[in-house]
Amino acid sequence: MVLGDSLAAGYGLNDGESFPARLQERLDQRELGFEIANVSVSGDTSAGGLRRLDWALDGDVRILLVELGGNDGLRGLPLTELRANLAAIIERGQARGATVVLAGMEAPPNFGPDYTAGFRRIYRELATQYRVRLVPFLLEGVAGNPALNIADGIHPNPSGARIVADNVWRVLEPLVKRPA
């Protein structure tokens, strides 16, 4: 399951072009038997993801990819709130037996270097604290590159979404491989 915001929902993309859709293609090509449930909502924050988590986790969720925080950073949400929300999501996912993967995000620099550094640090610290897999920066290789984003400069275009899928796949692949 992908619990995310517009980056995972595929804002500005056609059906099948989002990074979760690209991940599903890889799972299907390898006949790994996983189906991605993308419960991402454009504009969502970590608080919004936390509010809808319990119903989202109904069913057989084996892996929970948490892709939240970008909108928190754009709004300058206090770092303590971001940490608390993400920690609660991880705890609830683990309590339901899901393997949690946390996708790291970066905050824009307009709130100052302390905020930006603290924002980045939250993801690493939570991954260590809860022993979850971490995609260090979801948009690595895509952020800031006009050739890989739609006109808003924030959301990946189809080519950018493929790179984001690569970033996630490096962490996800060992979790979904069938034993030989």
Give me the pLDDT at residue 177, please.
Answer: 86
Long-range contacts of 111-116 (CB under 8 A, 24+ apart): 111/73, 111/76, 115/76, 115/79
Of 15, 58, 114, 152, the catalytic one is 152
The chain-wide mean pLDDT, for the chain, equals: 96
User: Is the sign of the CA dihedral 25, 30, 31, 34 positive or negative?
Assistant: negative
The pLDDT of residue 179 is 53
Give the model's pLDDT for residue 12.
96
pLDDT in tens, 143-159: 999 999 999 999 999 99
Confidence of residue 178 (pLDDT cuts 50, 70, 90): low
Active-site residue identified among 5, 58, 155, 159:
155
Catalytic residue among 6, 18, 40, 46: 6
Q: How confident is the model at residue 180 (pLDDT cuts 50, 70, 90)?
A: very low
Question: Is 6 a catalytic site residue?
Answer: yes
Q: Give the list of residues 6+ apart from residue 156 with CB closer than 8 angstroms, or none.
A: 7, 13, 19, 139, 142, 148, 149, 150, 163, 164
Q: Does the annotation mark 60 as catalytic?
A: no
For the chain, the first-to-last Cα distance in angstroms comes to 25
Angle formed at CA 134 by CA 128 and CA 139, multiple of 5 degrees? 140
CATH 3.40.50.1110 is held by the domain 2-176: yes
Query: Is 28 tagged catalytic?
Result: no
Q: Which residues have a Cβ under 8 Å from the Cβ of 21 and sit 6 or more positions away?
A: 10, 15, 36, 38
The pLDDT tens digits of the residues spanning 66-110 come to: 999 999 999 999 999 999 999 999 999 999 999 999 999 999 999
Question: Is the pTM value of this prediction over 0.85?
Answer: yes
Per-domain residue ranges of the chain: 2-176
